[in-house]
Structure 1
Amino acid sequence: MPLATAVPHVRPLDVAADLLALLNDSTTEPRADTQLEALTLAVSADLPVLLWGEPGIGKTAALDQLAAALELPLTTVIASVHEPSDFSGLPVVGDDPAEQGVPMAPPDWAVRLVRAGEGLLFLDELSTAPPAVQAALLRVVLERRVGALTLPPGVRIVAAANPRSSAADGWELSPPLANRFVHLQWSYDHEVVVRGLGGTWPKAVLPKLAPGKLPEAVAFARRAVCELLAARPGLVHRLPKNEARRGGAWPSPRSWEMTLRLVAFATAADASREVLSMLVRGAVGDGPGLELLAGLDRMDLPDPEVLLANPAAAVLPERGDLRQTVLDGVVEAVRKRPEQSRWDAAWSLLVQALETGAPDLVVVPASTLAALRREDWRVPAAIERLAGAVSLSQRADRLAGARR
């Protein structure tokens, strides 16, 4: 009689593990991500970053992806479940406290980071940490000290917080702590979520710094920030009056120093305007940040004298507001040094602007330039090409005024 074959015993959780493995099986595809690019640049600049977003939208997942991309071990610390002594250190009494003092023993996660020499420290649930814990975190974020230990330069700090309206027992961040972070608003992409749940998650393309652009990037950033603050001294330090806004980004000498570093890194990485805007506004707030961005636009504008010297080779900005600024600058340059050749060159530039952009942009510069003509200056043929556009625009303005 044949022996019965033993049937292997299958535990219920073994089948469950197989199903979980199938659910976790997914692929990745390269995808540009402005949020992750801004986060990476700020982390590369060795600046503490605070991600603001509703619960469950993927802030922690973004940190996992960033740590993997940067090849750094990730250490997560839930700030709200720790005591102040977990960050400032616990006193350890030695043999002779009067002679040796009482050292402050650091927690185990800090010891691991120091031993590793590098890592990504993720301080989660920051907005639910009570004020005493936030005060203890000041030294960690700014001085990189935890008890008696100093975190090595290879450690980067990122925190996450939920808005007070959606945080359990949430607190507003204290102004000293908030002013030490670059604040990035974090949101989810609907298409990314749908494709990810279907089995294809994005693999972000991280920015790369161009070694040859480093000196130029530093000079550009210093000039941009210094020119703005020289013209607007009131922006150097402006503590918001509203308590909620004090817990976000606002301008101070410290945050302007952070901004300068961010502009340099974004320039060296040739980052997009959207990424640069996120970083700058995340450091000094929306108002000062937008003023700086407007100043950066003006820095990129061509010199009116260069345009007047060779109008045939001129390249005018495509954006209407920037083009208007350039044309106004050209006319102002002619007004300051009126010469027949410069006047003629300005008309050539206006003709180019008419042929390559909106006609209404040349109306005011053309009218102002015509008023600068001296009696002995001949009238260039270019004026005839502009006359139609100017008269048509003026007629349209009169009709619009009549209808009002």
Structure 2
Amino acid sequence: MADMDTTVTVIDACGMAKVPALLLSRPGKGKSSLIRGLAAAQTIPCEVVLGSQYEPAEIGGLPYLDPNGSGVQREAPAWAKRLVEAGAGIVFLDELTTVPESVQGPMLTVVLDRVVGDLQLPDAVRVVAGANPPDQAAGGYDLAPPMANRFCHISYEPTVDDWLHGMSTRWRTLPLSRAVVASTERMSATVSAVMGFIHHRPDLLDKFPQSPEERGRAYPSERSWDMLARALAYVRADDQPAIQTLAMGLVGEGAGMEFVQWLQHADLPDPEAVTADPSLVDWAHERPDRVWAVLNGVVTLAAERGTVEAFRKAWKPLGAASDAGVKDFAAAAARTLATFRPANARIPAEMRKFEALLKSAGLLSEDAA
């Protein structure tokens, strides 16, 4: 269970990463009050959508024939139009476990693609949902796997102190978020960490649950690991409660806890520091999963920056790893890095160590230095 501070932080981090968040608790725990309070604190609108009150066509947009000859269009509901007009806000999909699967289907595009009818919601609009356990919801339904796998599931259990504070302020004052603005360096580090773990445990990349109950919760998939890599970039590297909540909320308790434990023991170096000084890593004696993670962090950082200088510098750690005998991992990273070569970038000396490989892959066609 996440405390109030961590809950606010994770919702904020998910919002900045464009990852939908789902608050889960027993009835009467104040989920709606919390979300409305977050919106009020940011002075943005909060549109509450009760999917159980909608027909499938209303969520997806009611079809109509455009009199101007553009064919069939889909009319978005009023709440979506208000958010588009405001340019920011929160879509709060309340009582999600009371929504039948026939309505959950059209809600999928709202949750992940942020499309309602023919309207694209602005980037500053965040998607948050609230739900009780299906057996404690009115006419409860398990979440369909495609819906469940689109959310970061946050088990919400406010303490007595949280409730007392909320009552005293009439829920107008909430803890400050610990989320941070993601830097290029932090993003490359979180991407490389997730990739390193999956290299270590490839069987956890996509593990569809066996029981219907588990399919309505967080579970590992290519999508949820990608969302985890993005969301982690918006929390500090030392914020263990937020990291654990994100990991368990996106890829499930088992895979999430294993990832957190691996991350703590991996103690991965900063990709920027390794790019500047490849000797920081003992390439010949390092664990394979760490080598894989570090090299991919270096490549991701160069790709994110997209400059000629970043491209040229990134080849130094790859060359050092190859010279130390870690040729397979270095070659895999080289293939990826070569695809991000800026048009005006000349070939650095370290890149020539992979010349035959890159030519055979069609990624290198010139010999000019």
The 3 A distance-change label for structure 1 pair 205 and 94 is closer
Deviation at 1:150, TM superposition (A): 1.1
CA 288–108 in structure 1, closer or farther in 2 if over 3 Å, else same: same
Q: What displacement does 1:131 show? A: 0.8
Q: RMSD in angstroms over aligned alpha carbons?
A: 2.3
Aligned equivalent of 1:185: 155
Give the Cα–Cα distance (whole angstroms) in 2 for the partners of residues 161 and 274 of structure 1.
Answer: 22
Shift of 1:207: 2.0
**Which residue number in structure 2 is paired with residue 25 of structure 1?**
none
- Provide the rounded CA distance (Å) in 2 between the counterparts of 1:198 and 1:150: 39
Residue 64 of structure 1 is matched in structure 2 by 36
* 1:273 alignment partner in structure 2: 240
Structure 1 residues 234 and 74: alpha-carbon distance in aligned structure 2, compared to 1, 3 A threshold: same
Whichever residue aligns with residue 154 of structure 2, its letter is: L
- CA distance in structure 2 between the aligned counterparts of 1:148 and 1:49, rounded to whole angstroms: 23
Determine the C-alpha separation between the residues in 1 that align with 2:39 and 2:167: 22
Matches within 5 A, 1:324-343: none
Structure-1-length-normalised TM-score: 0.62
**Separation of aligned partners in 2, 1:291 and 1:138:** 29
Q: TM-score, normalised by structure 2?
A: 0.68
Which of 138, 156, 161 is the matching residue for 1:168?
138
* Among candidates 205, 210, 216, match of residue 236 of structure 1: 205
The aligned counterpart of 1:261 is: 230
1:119 to 67, 70, 89: 89
Is the Cα–Cα contact under 8 Å of residues 89 and 107 in structure 1 kept in the other structure? yes
In 2, Cα distance between equivalents of 1:33 and 1:169: 32
The reply to whether residue 298 of structure 1 matches residue 269 of structure 2 is no
Aligned to 1:157: 127
Q: Which residue of 2 aligns with 1:205?
A: 176
Q: Does 1:109 align with 2:76?
A: no
1:231-259 CA-to-partner distances (Å, cap 9, x unmatched) read 21111101100111101100111000001
What residue identity is the alignment partner of 2:219?
A: W
Question: Is the 1:139–1:145 Cα contact (8 Å) retained in structure 2?
Answer: yes
> Considering only CA atoms, is the larger Rg found in Structure 1 or Structure 2?
1
- Say if 1:107 and 1:197 are closer, same or farther in 2 by CA, change over 3 A: closer
| Cα distance in 2 between the residues matched to 1:92 and 1:250 | 38
Residues 1:200 and 1:91: Cα distance change in structure 2 (over 3 Å): closer
In 2: Cα distance, 1:290 partner to 1:95 partner: 55
Tell me, in whole angstroms, the C-alpha distance in 2 between the residues paired with 1:266 and 1:294: 17
Q: What 5-or-longer segments of structure 1 have no aligned partner?
A: 1-30, 303-331, 334-404
Which one has more relative contact order, counting CA pairs under 8 Å at least 6 apart? Answer: 2
Cα deviation, 1:145-173, whole Å, max 9, x if unaligned, reads 11111111111100111101110100010
Alignment partner of 1:78 is 2:50: yes
Shift of the alpha carbon at 1:301?
A: 7.3
3-state SS in 2 of match to 1:226: helix
SS in 1 for 2:180: coil
> Which AA in structure 1 matches 2:35?
L
The alpha carbon displacement at 1:71 in A equals 2.8
Whether 1:52 aligns to 2:13 is no
**What residue number does 2:112 align with?**
142
Letter in 2 for 1:216: E
Q: Deviations over 1:102-161 (max 9, x none)?
A: 111111111111111111111111110111100010111121111111111111100111
Find the aligned partners of 1:144 and 1:191 in 2 and give their Cα distance.
Answer: 36
CA deviations over 1:277-296 (Å, ceiling 9, x no partner) = 01111000011111111121
What percent of counterpart residues are identical?
Answer: 38
- Distance in 2 separating the partners of 1:223 and 1:179: 22
Rounded to whole Å, the distance in 2 between the matches of 1:139 and 1:301 is: 36
Corresponding residue for 2:299? none
Using the alignment, how far apart are the partners of 2:75 and 2:234 within structure 1? 36
Distance 2:15 2:238 in 1: 15
Gaps of 5+ in 2: 270-284, 287-369
The DSSP-based 3-state class of the residue aligned with 2:233 is helix
Give the aligned partner of residue 352 of structure 1. none
Deviation at 1:217, TM superposition (A): 1.2
One-letter amino acid of the structure 2 residue matched with residue 272 of structure 1: D
Q: Map 1:308-387 onto structure 2 (within 5 A).
A: none
